[in-house]
Amino acid sequence: MNQVHVQEIECLLVLADELHFGRTATRLGCSQSRVSQLVASLERRVGVRLVDRTSRRVSLSPFGAQFVDEVRPAYETLSTVITQARERAGSGTLQRLRVGFHGSVYEEVTEAFRRLRAHHDVTMALSEIPLGSPFSAVLDGRVDAVVVELPATDPALTCGFRFPPQDRLLAVASSHPLAAAGRADVEELAGLDLLHPAGEAPDDWKAARVPRTTPAGAPVRSTTGITTVQEGLALVASGGHAMLVCRPLAERAVRGDVRYLPVDGLDEPSQMALIWRTDRGSRQLLMLARLLREEFDRGRAPVGAVGTVAPAGAVGPVGHAASVAPTAAVAPVPLAG
């Protein structure tokens, strides 16, 4: 088997992006002649011309274009592995999980993270992901898992742990007429302009955040998208919009210019889950799911916070947000299509 040097692959991938030997040389920090040597060496190893070059233009040959499409994912995976190994070496740990989340991380979750590091030598790298793009980061490999609201019906994803379901509340400005009443009816949503998460989330996920109609069939208006919870609360406080939020968020985002109201007739609760790519499951992710289950079983959360509405759910197909099975040592399953 011919030995292929990583430098040759890297050179071809950069040339495929630039289609210019000079710019490729600049990006790689070498001479144009060195670029030519690397490409020629790779072509000899593969046994076919990969690049067509004339005095006026540079292009990939048909075989070269196919080769680039096939080799790029492998190269990117190798680069990621090396980067992660370097980061683990710098932190002195052998393992690392990258987890994306919306809004804030609750106490039970941070305690599970602490136990994962203390007892299993796994460090956590947390990053807030855009509100309207719950699955993009995990699908493209930027994070290993996400903690986001359901539903999630992509068969490429696996639900590792379901959080207990939570009531949804209506956030309105403290000066809004509904604030004085102290509660709202689901049909009153038709008279509001509800904020929606902006992003490339699946349609069923968007519909679960903001209903298209009330139970009686009245259309619900939603003219403005948001990318963070804080952005949404600022718009709510200004008086022009309202927003549906889960109870734990409301209890952690207390502010004088916003009121959170129960909504009579809004029966579908909010439920979050730990979700990862089916083809990238790992022992560390399974361990995190188990620790989360243990933490929620302990019932450590204060009244109203995540973990006090119902026992933590066992793993299962995502899609029925109100369904929480008894806690059990059940292996995660891929989401049904």
pLDDT at 306 over 60: no
**For position 319, what pLDDT does the model report?**
31
Together in a domain, 172 and 212 = yes
The answer to whether position 315 is within a domain reads yes
> Has residue 332 got a pLDDT over 90?
no
User: Total structural domains in the chain?
Assistant: 3
pLDDT in tens, 21-65: 999 999 999 999 999 999 999 999 999 999 998 888 999 999 999
State residue 86's pLDDT score: 77
Which among 141, 144, 140 has a CA at the least distance from the CA of 101?
A: 144
- Residue 10 domain flag: yes
Q: Is 140 exposed, middle or buried (0-12, 13-18, 19+ CB in 10 A)?
A: exposed
> CB under 8 Å to 79, separation ≥6 — which residues?
none
Rounded mean pLDDT of 282-288? 92
**What pLDDT is stored for residue 117 in this prediction?**
87
- Tell whether 229 is covered by a domain: yes
Q: Are residues 300 and 249 in the same domain?
A: no
Residue 153's domain is classified under what CATH number?
3.40.190.10
For the chain, what's the residue count?
Answer: 337
Here the CATH number for the domain that contains residue 64 is 1.10.10.10
State the chain's mean pLDDT as an integer. Answer: 84
pLDDT at 22: 93
**Structure confidence by residue, pLDDT tens digits, 206-264:** 999 999 999 999 999 999 999 999 999 999 999 999 999 999 889 888 999 999 999 99
- Whether residues 207 and 286 share a domain: the answer is no
For residue 87, give the 3-state DSSP assignment: helix
Higher pLDDT, 81 or 146: 146
Say whether both 63 and 83 belong to one domain.
Answer: yes
Residue 150 lies in a domain: yes
Q: Do both 254 and 106 map to the same domain?
A: no
Q: How confident is the model at residue 301 (pLDDT cuts 50, 70, 90)?
A: very low
* Res 327: pLDDT: 29
Instruction: Check pLDDT > 60 for residue 285.
Output: yes
The number of C-alpha atoms within 13 Å of 307 and in the hemisphere containing its C-beta is 17
- DSSP strand pairing (157-162 vs 333-334): antiparallel
How does pLDDT run across 64-107, given as a tens digit for each residue? 999 999 999 889 888 877 876 776 666 555 578 999 998 777 78
Higher-scoring residue by pLDDT: 310, 173: 173
**End residue of a domain, out of 238, 264, 290:** 264
Higher pLDDT, 93 or 319: 93
- Which pLDDT does position 88 carry in this prediction? 61
Claim to verify: residue 147 and residue 226 sit in the same structural domain: no
Q: Is the pLDDT of residue 312 over 60?
A: no
The pair of structure tokens assigned to 10 is: 């890297």
Same domain, 30 and 112: no
As to burial, measured by CB atoms within 10 angstroms (0-12 exposed, 13-18 middle, 19+ buried), residue 202 is middle
Indicate if 160 and 36 belong to the same structural domain. Answer: no
The residue segments making up the domain with residue 225 are 168-264
Please check the confidence at residue 303 and state whether its pLDDT lies above 70.
no
Place of tokens 């919870």: 229
Is residue 106 situated within a structural domain? yes
pLDDT at residue 156 above 90? Answer: yes
- Summarised one tens digit per residue, pLDDT across range 201-210 is 999 999 999 9
Model-level pTM?
A: 0.64
The pLDDT of residue 267 is 85
My answer on whether 187 and 149 are in the same domain is no
Whether residue 154 is found in the same domain as residue 172: no
Number of H helices, E strands in the chain: 11, 14
Q: What is the pLDDT of residue 92?
A: 55
In a domain? residue 1: no
Q: How far apart are CA 87 and CA 155, in angstroms?
A: 31
Q: Are residues 174 and 256 in the same domain?
A: yes
Same domain, 126 and 252: no
User: Which of 264, 288, 317 is a domain's end point?
Assistant: 264
Q: Position of tokens 């902006």?
A: 198
Within a domain: 29: yes
Q: How many other CB atoms are there within 10 angstroms of residue 174's CB atom? A: 14
Q: Which of 313, 235, 293 is nearest to 115 (CA)?
A: 293
The token pair that represents 15 in the structure block: 């040339």
Domain annotation covers residue 186: yes
Of the candidates 264, 290, 324, which is a domain's last residue? Answer: 264
